[in-house]
Amino acid sequence: MYKSRKGNRDSRVDFERELNILGENIMTGKLSISNHLRHLGKEITKARYAPNKRINLLTINEMIRTFAMSANFPDLDNFETENETNNENE
């Protein structure tokens, strides 16, 4: 049987969904960008929609693609950082 070599993202629809979730998380404040990654803000503003109301993938660079994929982990809301765990144990 054919096994997908694309990893987690199987289609353009999945990729567009990840980008939309990334944008929504940034706008609602669920996801913040650290100071050393502020250049991502400029790259995100370069993203454009095509005339057919879909995201123009040519306007998305690889850094944003990676950021969108990593921001879309299903259990991100339940994720605790190591510092939070250490603070609770003290």
CA–CA distances in Å: residue 28 to residues 9, 21, 67, 76 = 24, 10, 17, 15
Which pTM value belongs to this model?
Answer: 0.64
> In 2-88, which ranges are E strands?
none
Q: What does the alpha-carbon distance between residue 18 and residue 57 come to, in Å, rounded to a whole number?
A: 12
Q: What is the pLDDT of residue 40?
A: 80
| 21-67 pLDDT, tens digit each | 888 888 888 877 788 888 887 888 888 989 998 989 889 988 888 88
Q: Are 44 and 60 in contact (CB under 8 A)?
A: no
Q: Bridge-partner residues for 49, per DSSP?
A: 55
Q: What is the pLDDT of residue 76?
A: 54
Q: Is the pLDDT of residue 71 over 60?
A: yes
Of residues 16 and 81, more confidence is placed in 16
